[in-house]
Structure 1
């Protein structure tokens, strides 16, 4: 009964369901189409390109611009630009030129694919040392694009907003994941309620309207000699349980029985894999604690990210269950 009370939610004015699409080629699988249709999803936040640094010159360059092989005519598309923080850390950064080129590339990709868009989202985990360049970039991008602008916001930027400042955008999206450090211990770096609690009380003081992004992805933390040597995507409990090269030694850990290659990665005998994932109960708990902590109800919940591998870990109606918790 206690578990039922904790994880059951009532329906009021529920936020809309949206998804991030974070692949380099846009092409929906039948499963992905089915989920979007069943959840009446009309809005997709699509990563258009990253901005990084050219290794030799340290000049900003677009990385892996998206290519469309599927139709997006039925969706309200929000182009998302992911900017590596090291770009904004450049002391000689030509912010005006970067903003101009970013706007042009968003417009070019949209024009070629006949996408009419009303909003752009800037995704950057800016820091105290990069905030001046970042805030200037947002200002210039907004003026040049003449579009509605949103920005991703991290927990530390909410709690310390007087220091990190608030970008001049129309709204923000709180990325409610990647809370802890990636480590060989038993903690889940994607979601840790003990860490989340330290920041939740700051939400009601944050001046910018926030929607929320929740995680539906998982990964494997590859550990060798008690050191993390990499993150491995698209690994599941069930897959590893069937693989004779791995043995489950605890709730989250698998041990390599014999050296082998899996998905192009070499695993040495006695290596460890820690699977970090988000359960349906985690998602409902995240929604409840956010709903209880925010001063203004979110208009939408964006799930990261739309991928058949992620979707198969949940019941089809999990997204409706989660938004009903707000």
Structure 2
């Protein structure tokens, strides 16, 4: 009996020491972020992705909150998006009617961290009330699916110095709205929750991208790099709030002119086909003058092209399953729903990524 106990103890210690977790096969809710501000409606390609992938949640950025020297915290970058119950609207939407009836729209608000630096509790309560009012107003005016919203997500890169104010704002929004409150969670506060605290929300979405400053390491992909990601996940730890997952499906190009960074092009533009010569991994030189997104590229300019590959996504999912404890259910959300970026990902690839979490 003692020998059996010793063997079992060794196995247990080996498992604990590995820093891995044994996730059950969670029920996966498929989601997308929608982060564009100037589109009136979803286009047919985006609707095709929603239909094929059976997307059930769309996190729509309703607006951003930024500081104003006169008016305090104000909403900016308000989205123009209308989401329709397609049965009674344009003919092109009719094939998607069943999908739109089951699509949950989640109002999402980005709060700039510097908004939180000087607000007192009364001002934070006012901000929460204003956010709730504007969210409800926009939803009732622009979301025509016959549904009510149940969840509000807040996106903020909070710091240790703004933590208390941010957490107060989340609690106040919960009290005022009577909704499920979720928030985004960057990898640093996930790893160092003893320093950064745990936000007082119902769930948190772990943002598994934008790991490093894109201007500080010219040889690494700043959007998603598994060598940078893994140390944030190890050793495995239990987080005090249930976790969801967000993964990137976007690309961008950093433009350098005369050796200095001059702009960011937030898409993998087909207009540049034939205008770039590869000089090393991720790096290109412009071989002729060309205009792109109001940026004038000149012959000799250098471009760093960062994109996410299916192989990197699958490896990221493997690491998450190995080290991050997930519950019985998890929402997996891609950032973001945009036809320009998604044309580089086959629907079958994204479908496989969703499915990997429940294998």
Output the TM-score relative to the length of structure 1.
Answer: 0.89
Matches of 1:203 and 1:153 in 2, distance apart? Answer: 16
Which of the pair is proportionally richer in helix?
Answer: 2
Structure 1 residue 271: Cα displacement? 1.9
Q: 1:273 aligns with which of 291, 303, 307?
A: 303
Structure 1 residue 186: Cα displacement? 1.9
Residues 253 and 274, structure 1, Cα contact 8 Å, conserved in 2: yes
Matches of 2:173 and 2:236 in 1, distance apart? Answer: 27
Q: 2:188 aligns with which of 156, 174, 196?
A: 156
Which residues in structure 2 correspond to 1:103-122 (within 5 Å)?
103-113=132-142, 114=144, 115-122=147-154
Q: Show the counterpart of 1:17.
A: 30
How far does the alpha carbon of each residue in 1:156-190 deviate from its partner, in whole angstroms, 9 at most, with x for none? 01111111111111000001000011126121000
Q: Any idea what SS the aligned residue of 1:283 has?
A: helix
Matches of 2:105 and 2:302 in 1, distance apart? Answer: 40
Q: 1:64 aligns with which of 63, 74, 77?
A: 77
Question: Which protein has the larger Cα radius of gyration, Structure 1 or Structure 2?
Answer: 2
Structure 1 residue 256: Cα displacement? 2.2
Distance 1:26 1:116, change over 3 A: farther
Distance 1:18 1:205, change over 3 A: same
Q: Show the counterpart of 1:291.
A: 321
Residues 287 and 323, structure 1, Cα contact 8 Å, conserved in 2: no
Q: Show the counterpart of 2:355.
A: 324
Which residues in structure 2 correspond to 1:234-313 (within 5 Å)?
234-236=267-269, 239-243=271-275, 246-297=276-327, 299-313=330-344
Structure 1 residue 13: Cα displacement? 4.6
Q: Any idea what SS the aligned residue of 1:301 has?
A: strand
Matches of 2:201 and 2:264 in 1, distance apart? Answer: 33
Residues 19 and 305, structure 1, Cα contact 8 Å, conserved in 2: yes
Q: Show the counterpart of 1:224.
A: 257
Q: Show the counterpart of 2:244.
A: 211
Q: 2:169 aligns with which of 114, 137, 147?
A: 137
Structure 1 residue 203: Cα displacement? 4.9
**Residue range with higher mean Cα deviation, 116-125 or 293-302:** 293-302
Residues 205 and 244, structure 2, Cα contact 8 Å, conserved in 1: yes
Structure 1 residue 280: Cα displacement? 0.8
Residues 31 and 334, structure 2, Cα contact 8 Å, conserved in 1: yes
2:102 corresponds to 1:102: no
Please provide the CA RMSD for this pair.
2.0
Matches of 1:265 and 1:223 in 2, distance apart? Answer: 11
Q: Show the counterpart of 1:147.
A: 179
Q: Any idea what SS the aligned residue of 1:235 has?
A: coil
Residues 241 and 248, structure 1, Cα contact 8 Å, conserved in 2: no
Structure 1 residue 316: Cα displacement? 1.4
Residues 152 and 182, structure 2, Cα contact 8 Å, conserved in 1: yes
Residues 268 and 341, structure 2, Cα contact 8 Å, conserved in 1: no
Output the TM-score relative to the length of structure 2.
Answer: 0.82
How far does the alpha carbon of each residue in 1:192-244 deviate from its partner, in whole angstroms, 9 at most, with x for none? 112111111255232211110000000001123443232111234x543323x
How far does the alpha carbon of each residue in 1:3-57 deviate from its partner, in whole angstroms, 9 at most, with x for none? xxxxxxxx95551211011111351111111111111112111111100122x42
Distance 1:21 1:65, change over 3 A: same
**Residue range with higher mean Cα deviation, 116-125 or 181-190:** 181-190
Q: Show the counterpart of 1:4.
A: none
Matches of 1:69 and 1:92 in 2, distance apart? Answer: 35
Structure 1 residue 69: Cα displacement? 3.5
Q: Show the counterpart of 1:7.
A: none
